[in-house]
Structure 1
């Protein structure tokens, strides 16, 4: 018999027996009914309103960018590659949502305690795997993998090995210098026609 925690059941909207619970209607805090949640209300322009709301919503990366800008000590601790990658993801979220939804960052870098490092390896994290992946086939490639470097940083041997392995398996795998080049390579890759290469 499989048992689930109360937290998991609650987070998935299930009862203790595992069945889906009936959603409870929440009273809006501001007293204004949420017309998007109602099945009976047909608001004119609702689709456009929801689209505009999503477009104008703050980037999920904006908070981190603000923190990096306001706290030099924190920014120095995180390093320039972290900031460049956050800028990249923020820009892609704001300007290229179609691409953003297929992007993924792999948290291989950074300083971690021994236990966390052990757990990450146990989960399948591998040293040297590229920082960012675009899971979209374009040109002759199955997908795009980018290793971000800033300043005088260079690729490690394990990063070079991953790059060679991914290239041999039909992926585009490149080293990019800064967030600007990362954006440029991503957009060039996205625009590739069948049969083209980077």
Structure 2
């Protein structure tokens, strides 16, 4: 990795961590530069403004939590549909749990979203992708004969809402067996007779 790429990565990772620890509003370019070990003007080479850095990290966070970052429809077969759905949900839960900064950073961006339509619209796009993605996945399950074709729309929304609420409870650090909740959610949409 080139020196400029290392510096770019260090700036982004440091800002992400500092957004978690101090909040977006209180994190300054001076703080980031000092932590990275570069001069404050050097950051402007990579990000022309703090807003540009905030937007970049926000977009990276959104990409990391999109439906397509976890679910690939072609990976779901008749033989593995239920197990794959459970496994992908587990991976989402585990990834959120292992990133100690994620919950706080999401809270910071939700706060920004309450004042800036750009952020709320992007969050809505992520939500919409889950609603449509689960609907497409359940239609695939129906075509494969492992899920019912009845109420696919509602069942897709239920799965999206359950995953979202698991994330919300994790944001609040509520101690629940999230994996068992996900297993039960998946079980409600899979036919027992298959």
TM-score, normalised on structure 2? 0.27
Structure 1 or 2: more strand by fraction: 1
Structure 1 or 2: more helix by fraction: 2
